Amino acid sequence: MKGGVGETSYAENSFIQLNLIRMTKPIWVEAITKLINYYSTFPTTLAMADLDYQVLLNDLPAGNDFNPVFRSLAGFQEKLKKELGSGSGPCFFSGVPGSFYHRLFPSKSLHFVHSSTSLHWLSQVYYYYLSNIC
């Protein structure tokens, strides 16, 4: 990814990724809704937490520049506040460099993960999954 906001920047060349996210949104919204509905039948499984939430952005560190994304966050958070109203909690953003072939986050620290465009980059199938193919 080329940093900045020029003609060759990621922001100007990510139309396919944007469309993929838009196309798959109904699928992951339905999955989250089903998960919440299922676990809400068990009173001790889900508890009401504070309304803060966190977005963790991941990409390879070599040549990738999160600066344009981070510069756009103030405007995004203002827009989010207008759309959701004062009842929504703050949103915290972090950039996490590294390959998804290795652990990126602490164990049991993620509640929902969405990876929109990673499968096409895989260079190998994990051994565990080879033994579980139907």
| Tens-digit pLDDT profile for residues 67-102 | 888 888 888 888 888 887 776 777 888 888 887 777
94 and 57 Cβ atoms separated by less than 8 Å: yes
- Let me know if residue 3 belongs to a domain: no
- Let me know if residue 61 belongs to a domain: yes
Cα dihedral across residues 115, 74, 97, 90: positive or negative: negative
- Let me know if residue 114 belongs to a domain: yes
Burial (CB count <10 Å: 0-12, 13-18, 19+), residue 16: exposed
- Let me know if residue 24 belongs to a domain: yes
- Let me know if residue 29 belongs to a domain: yes
Instruction: Return the pLDDT at 30.
Output: 92
Instruction: Return the pLDDT at 26.
Output: 93
Residues of the chain with pLDDT under 70: 1-5, 10-11, 42-51, 63-64, 87, 116-134
pTM of the model: 0.52
Instruction: Return the pLDDT at 2.
Output: 47
Domain residue limits at 28: 10-130
Domain count for the chain, please give it.
Answer: 1
Pairwise CA distance, residues 29 & 27, whole Å: 6
- Let me know if residue 5 belongs to a domain: no
